[in-house]
Amino acid sequence: MSTTPASAPSPHRVLPTARPDDDEIRPLKPPVDPTTLVHAQIRRDEFWRNIPAYADVSYEQFIDHAWQSKHTITRPEKLIETLKDHVSPEFLADVNAGFHKAPMSLRISPYILSLIDWREPYGDPLRIQFVPVASRLLPDHPKLGLDSLHEQADAPVPGLTHRYPDKALFLPLDTCPVYCRFCTRSYAVGVDTDEVEKVQLKAKPERWQRAFKYIASRPELEDIVVSGGDTYNLRAQQLLEIGETLLAMPNIRRIRFATKGPAVMPQKLLTDDAWVDALTRVVELGRKLHKDVVVHTHFNHPNEITGITHDGLNRLQERGIFVRNQSVLQRGVNDTVETMRLLIKRLGHVNVHPYYVYVHDLVQGVEDLRTTLDTALVLEKHIRGSTAGFNTPTFVVDAPGGGGKRDAHSFEHYDRDNGISVFTSPAVKEGQFYLYYDPLHLLSPEAQARWADPQEQYRIITNAIERAKGKIRP
């Protein structure tokens, strides 16, 4: 069967000028200057030595995951102490005030800390993701709440979300190697902050047993996402236990271990042999049972990828461990075509397949990080075609209210003036409408005034749903 339209030239045509004995190359376009292939230029300098506190840290020390964990910063006072004399006192005061208003607790690895350009901290894409500053915070959208994805409402057992027919999300624990400002699970992940008292999801054997029992009792469940919290924070033995238990269930065909780790502490892939060996054993057991076990990770910016990352990922590649990436689209981090393209090309270069780019969820306290649905649509258009199709991510909206992930382009209606889009999710819940809201500060002053008026809010929402209903065939 040919998929080539009749009017297009055959892909197999022979160029009229080519003769079998003609070994001359006829360039159709000139080769690019290799220095412009920035995605393949991965830094291998000792960048951490720029931070006064790490100036004497050797390469061997810096790639030791135990050193990284031990020096991970978890108190704002410690961060301020590490950075003082390196950044201005005004900036530090701004950080301090930012933490008091933040829904997420602080946890930042020396690796990430030293990749931040502290000479220009306000615009740095890594600073923006991990260190809040009070002066840049914006009020939340009026329709925004904690756990906007209804993960808890769809949980038959605490920490097990069964929303889709054949797959479920298992949260074995509630800690991560770092804490991201934008975390969708700020309702559970991390320790309590001034702003949020967390739901507890400890790594408790009884809770895990209940989750396993539920998974085994549902023949339709084939696919388990082990997330958290973060798989990096499971001990090797725990990782093995979860993997072996799930693989032993005849209904389970696929497991993904989700971890931010490779993006924020790649050292573990190089020096935590017990953990990497446990992961390898689960992958190999899966292979023996003809089941799919992969890693899902979470890079958001090309600066997160260094020579240490490349070496760590090469180790997984050598063991035949497949890695996919899920990014979160964030304003000032990866919301330009140039940055997103560089991220995707660089991920491809280190053998990570870009899978999803999430339009930022409606998360409390991070309105400065969100951008419009339209931004995602524009990025997708410009990125598709720059590299292999399997390395081109799908841009998705995780529909607030539990609709699940929807292709960003699949909205039933999008009112760009008022920043409201309507999605449906027939495979998850027939007949239901799911609404996504663009951040108010990117709308016109008139639209912002409308959202400030509860009656106008009601009118905007009912109008959007009516328009969506009109488009859907019965």
Ligand X SMILES: *Cc1c(COP(=O)(O)O)cnc(C)c1O
Q: State the binding partner of 169 from ligand X, ligand SF4, none, CB within 5 to 8 A by kind.
A: ligand X
Binding flag, residue 239, ligand SF4 (CB under 6 A): no
The DSSP secondary-structure symbol of 140 reads: P
For residue 362, the tally of other CB atoms under 10 A from its CB is: 24
For residue 185, the minimal CB distance to ligand SF4 (Å) is 5
Selected range binding ligand SF4 among 120-128, 180-188, 378-386, 451-459, rule: CB under 6 A: 180-188
Selected range binding ligand X among 6-14, 161-169, 192-200, 463-471, rule: CB under 6 A: 161-169
Q: State the binding partner of 230 from ligand X, ligand SF4, none, CB within 5 to 8 A by kind.
A: ligand SF4
Q: Does residue 229 have a cis bond before it (omega within 30 degrees)?
A: yes
Counting residues that bind ligand SF4 (by CB under 6 A) gives 9
For residue 113, the tally of other CB atoms under 10 A from its CB is: 24
Nearer to ligand SF4, 185 or 331 (CB): 185
Applying CB under 6 A, among 47, 99, 170, 179 the residue interacting with ligand SF4 is 179
Q: Could you give the angle at which helices 273-288 and 236-247 cross, rounded to 10 degrees?
A: 10
**Which tokens hold the place of 359?**
């339009």
Nearer to ligand SF4, 185 or 268 (CB): 185
Q: Where are the alpha helices (DSSP H) in 147-305?
A: 205-216, 236-247, 261-264, 267-271, 273-288
First-to-last alpha carbon distance for the chain, in angstroms, is 33
SS (H, E, C) 9-77: CCCCCCCCCCCCCCCCCCCCCCCCCHHHCHHHCCCCCCHHHHCHHHCCCCHHHHCCHHHHHHCCECCHH
Return the closest-CA partner of residue 198 out of 161, 152, 166: 152
The number of C-alpha atoms within 13 Å of 474 and in the hemisphere containing its C-beta is 0
Binding flag, residue 173, ligand SF4 (CB under 6 A): no
Separation of alpha carbons 247 and 43, rounded Å: 38
For residue 313, the minimal CB distance to ligand X (Å) is 20
Which residues between 399 and 418 bind ligand X (CB under 6 A)? 405
Binding flag, residue 189, ligand SF4 (CB under 6 A): yes
Binding flag, residue 108, ligand SF4 (CB under 6 A): no
Separation of alpha carbons 441 and 72, rounded Å: 34
Selected range binding ligand X among 162-170, 357-365, 430-438, 459-467, rule: CB under 6 A: 162-170
Nearer to ligand SF4, 183 or 333 (CB): 183
Binding mask 246-265 for ligand SF4 (x = CB under 6 A): --------------x-----
Binding flag, residue 164, ligand X (CB under 6 A): yes
Counting residues that bind ligand X (by CB under 6 A) gives 8
For residue 164, the minimal CB distance to ligand X (Å) is 5
Nearer to ligand X, 169 or 447 (CB): 169
